[in-house]
Amino acid sequence: MSDDLLLSGGGSTAVATEELLEHAQDLERVRDGLEACRARLASWPLTEDADARVTNHLTWARGAVEDALLESTSLVRALRRSAERYGALERSLALVQRTAGEAAAYWAGVVLPGLVLIHGPAVALALAVGAVTVTSPQGRAAARGVGVWLRDNPAVVNNALVASLARTAVSSVDDFGLGVLRVPPPTRRLLEEQGLDLGLPTAGLVVTGAAGAAGMLRETRVVVHRVPEPAGSVPAVAAAPRGFADLAGRLPRAAPDGAQVRVERYGEGTADRRFIVYVGGTADASPRSTSDPWDVTSDVGAVTGGDAGAVRATEQAMRAAGVGPDDRVLLAGYSLGGIVARDIADRGSFAVDGVLSLGSPVGQIPVPDGVSAVSVEHNEDVLAALGGHGLADEDGGHALVVRRSVADELTDGGGTLFAAHGLDRYAETAALLDESEEERIAGFRSTLSTFLGDREQGSVTEWRAERVVEAPGPPPSGGSGGGFGVGVGGAAVVSPADAGRSGPEGEGPGR
Amino acid sequence: MIDGGADARAERELAVVRRQREELGRLVARMGALRHEVPRDGTVYWKSAAQRRYLVRLERLDDLLESAAAELQGALAATGTALAHREQTA
């Protein structure tokens, strides 16, 4: 059960375990083989009655082949139908969940301002307590208390039901806003029917705007530098990755002064180069921007389609590593890295062939046509669920989504905070994907293989970015890209020799 | 003339049986390969009743393939016997 992979999307309306789909593929091969056998048995020389004993055996053989063909055809249909029904059921349940969540969020939005008016003093008191929580040492202690509680009750954030609710809540944020704005229900429905719902970007602007007022989630410029290789070492090279496990195994892991982005360059010295870019996950869980752009500020910015230092930094690292706009690229990312990867593919600044995201909340980030995308999510991973429900196929939601339950795999019974989100767990799931012959999973492996062709070895560079956090004060009199404002940022590259002593030279606004 | 016609017919039948043996050799190999394609030992994620029915049908399919393979094997052996007999007669 724990090795079961549940597949959806990727251009199909079916949802099923990878094993069931593999069975269907195997049986289709049997059926096709039997059809070929039947055709041979029905053609010369086997139709000629040259010997009675041979003819007798052939008659029985034809009957058995015909029966086997009927049985295999029927089994294939049953498996495919089962997958389609499962898909339809899952879509119906998701629709019910989403509709109920949106309605609840809308009416909460309608009611909440009224409560504020009626219970003004109480609400003001609650807001004051909240402000104290955020800003004062005592408040921070209280916030730490929440963290302690979560650590004591980690099952809450390693829970499939909580993940599912989180997915619905995120998808309903815009409806809450419409409720607050008192948009009449018919208008709200009309907006949704016309595809004009506010969506995560607007919600992101509201959240970052509100958090910015409290000194949180503020975007900054970033400075990118190459992580120097150890003195005296030979330039790093890598063998071509052969599958999902290789890609997962090379993702940068969060470490002080460690790389956040790894770029592998294949086809050195030829005009037809290929690049594989690996992007690591969130390293700084603080909502306040400090030095590491792989932080919550980037998480919120990237997942809502806003400005994100990690996206700018990754693009800058790619350019610095020699990736040109026409060079073909394959991106792999974990957690925030997966959001960054999908965001970069969506922007279209680079010629992206494929994107693999592990544990990333990317449900609402469209995949451009021609880009092969696989998103791996654990059922109990609450953080991956924060991307909301997936987009419809016509809106660019054609990534193959692979889900797996790791509830039985958490060695301490899920006693570690966000254990289901761990990179090691996702690396295990990636290895399971390598064992699968399901056509869509095999298709992505084939994309990787075709992408690299006979390029068997690549050069490796690693990159790290730092935020340029300036003291609050009046805005600078000139230049661009400076300051704290939401949606403003830039990136600069510092060579390895300059790393650590160069000043923050911005390149102008991010997006 | 009659003997000549019988010889011609016997030669033609001999040629046909030879071609049948070649073709059956290929079919027997193909059928063996197909039997290996049939899924086995699966834990397909279904509830027990459907799973049991599915596994029973997989077994039935395998039995049918086995029958087909056995008949083809029998036909192949029969071509061998027929060829030996006809060559001996000739």
Query: Which residues, numbered 72 to 101 in chain A, qualify as contacts with chain B under a Cβ-Cβ cut-off of 8 Å?
Result: 72, 74-75, 78, 82
pLDDT at A269: 79
Structure tokens at A87: 């898909």
Residue B65 sits at the chain A interface (C-beta within 8 Å): yes
pLDDT at A255: 87
Please indicate whether, in this complex, the C-beta atoms of B30 and A57 are within 8 angstroms of each other.
Answer: no
CA dihedral sign, ordered A445, A448, A452, A455: negative
> What is the C-alpha separation between A39 and A60, in angstroms, rounded?
15
**Crossing angle, helix A120-135 and helix A137-152, to 10 degrees?**
90
Residue with tokens 């029958």: B67
pLDDT at A265: 95
| DSSP-assigned beta bridge partners for residue A206 | none
Cα Rg of chain A (Å, integer): 27
> What is the C-alpha separation between A50 and A58, in angstroms, rounded?
12
pLDDT at A201: 65
> What is the C-alpha separation between A58 and A54, in angstroms, rounded?
6
Please indicate whether, in this complex, the C-beta atoms of B20 and A64 are within 8 angstroms of each other.
Answer: no
- Calculate mean pLDDT across residues A95-114: 75
> What is the H or E stretch that residue A400 is in?
strand A400-404
Please indicate whether, in this complex, the C-beta atoms of A50 and B13 are within 8 angstroms of each other.
Answer: yes
A226 — pLDDT class (breaks 50, 70, 90): very high
Q: Residues with Cβ < 8 Å from A41, sequence gap 6 or more?
A: A58, A61, A62, A65, B27
Please indicate whether, in this complex, the C-beta atoms of B34 and A33 are within 8 angstroms of each other.
Answer: yes
For residue A485, pLDDT over 50 is answered with no
pLDDT at A203: 66
Q: Which stretch, A22-36, A229-243, B1-15, has highest mean pLDDT?
A: A22-36
ipTM (interface predicted TM): 0.90
State the DSSP code for A271: S
Q: In angstroms, how far apart are the furthest CA atoms of chain B?
A: 73
A226 neighbors A461 (Cβ within 8 angstroms) = yes
Which CA distances in Å does A382 have to A68, A211, A335, B62, B64?
Answer: 46, 22, 11, 44, 48
pLDDT at B6: 73
CA distance B82 to chain A (A): 7
* More confident of the two residues A491 and A314: A314
State the DSSP code for A485: -
Q: Residues with Cβ < 8 Å from B48, sequence gap 6 or more?
A: none
* More confident of the two residues A306 and A200: A306
Please confirm whether the linkage preceding A361 is cis (ω < 30° from 0): no
- Calculate mean pLDDT across residues A425-432: 94
Of the candidates A264, A251, A278, the one whose C-alpha atom is nearest the C-alpha of residue A327 is A264
Please indicate whether, in this complex, the C-beta atoms of B54 and A78 are within 8 angstroms of each other.
Answer: yes
Mutate to test the interface with A, among B14, B44, B54 (most CBs of A within 10 A): B44
Please indicate whether, in this complex, the C-beta atoms of B37 and A48 are within 8 angstroms of each other.
Answer: no
Minimum Cα–Cα distance from B67: chain A residue: A64
Minimum Cα–Cα distance from A45: chain B residue: B20
Q: Are strands A372-378 and A351-358 parallel, antiparallel or unpaired?
A: parallel
CA distance A79 to chain B (A): 9
pLDDT averaged over chain B? 85
Q: What is the phi/psi pair of residue A156, to 5°? A: -60, -40
Residue A407, SS3 per DSSP: coil
Residue B29 sits at the chain A interface (C-beta within 8 Å): no
A354 — pLDDT class (breaks 50, 70, 90): very high
* More confident of the two residues A86 and A325: A325
For residue A423, pLDDT over 70 is answered with yes
Q: How many CB atoms lie within 10 A of CB A64?
A: 21
Of the candidates A22, A30, A61, the beta carbon closest to that of B34 is on: A30
Q: What is the phi/psi pair of residue A80, to 5°? A: -65, -40
A437 neighbors A22 (Cβ within 8 angstroms) = yes
> What is the C-alpha separation between A304 and A355, in angstroms, rounded?
18
- Calculate mean pLDDT across residues A46-70: 93
pLDDT at A155: 67
Please indicate whether, in this complex, the C-beta atoms of B37 and A34 are within 8 angstroms of each other.
Answer: no
- Calculate mean pLDDT across residues A16-24: 84
For residue A1, pLDDT over 50 is answered with no
A405 neighbors A2 (Cβ within 8 angstroms) = yes
CA A412 from chain center: how many Å? 26
Structure tokens at A170: 């995120």
Min mean pLDDT across A168-172, A306-310, A405-409 is at A168-172
Please indicate whether, in this complex, the C-beta atoms of B42 and A23 are within 8 angstroms of each other.
Answer: yes
Residue A355, SS3 per DSSP: strand
pLDDT at A300: 87
Q: Are strands A12-17 and A400-404 parallel, antiparallel or unpaired?
A: unpaired
Please indicate whether, in this complex, the C-beta atoms of B75 and A54 are within 8 angstroms of each other.
Answer: yes
A501 — pLDDT class (breaks 50, 70, 90): very low
- For residue A74, the chain B residues in CB contact (below 8 A) are 57
Mutate to test the interface with A, among B9, B13, B20 (most CBs of A within 10 A): B20
Residue B68 sits at the chain A interface (C-beta within 8 Å): yes
State the DSSP code for A356: E
* More confident of the two residues A225 and A175: A225
Of the candidates B44, B54, B79, the beta carbon closest to that of A54 is on: B79
Q: What is the phi/psi pair of residue A278, to 5°? A: -110, 130
> What is the C-alpha separation between A153 and A162, in angstroms, rounded?
13
Among the residues of A399-438, which ranges form H helices? 423-435
Size of interface A-B (CB pairs under 8 A): 114
| DSSP-assigned beta bridge partners for residue A265 | A275, A459
- For residue A64, the chain B residues in CB contact (below 8 A) are 64-65, 67-68, 71
Minimum Cα–Cα distance from A62: chain B residue: B68
pLDDT at A202: 65
For residue A192, pLDDT over 80 is answered with no
Please indicate whether, in this complex, the C-beta atoms of B82 and A46 are within 8 angstroms of each other.
Answer: no
- Calculate mean pLDDT across residues A156-171: 73
- Exposure pattern of A457-484 as b/e (b: 16+ CB <10 Å)? ebebbbbbbbbbeeeeeeeeeeeebbbb
* pLDDT one-digit tens code per residue, A89-99: 777 777 777 77
**What is the C-alpha end-to-end distance of chain B, expressed in Å?**
18
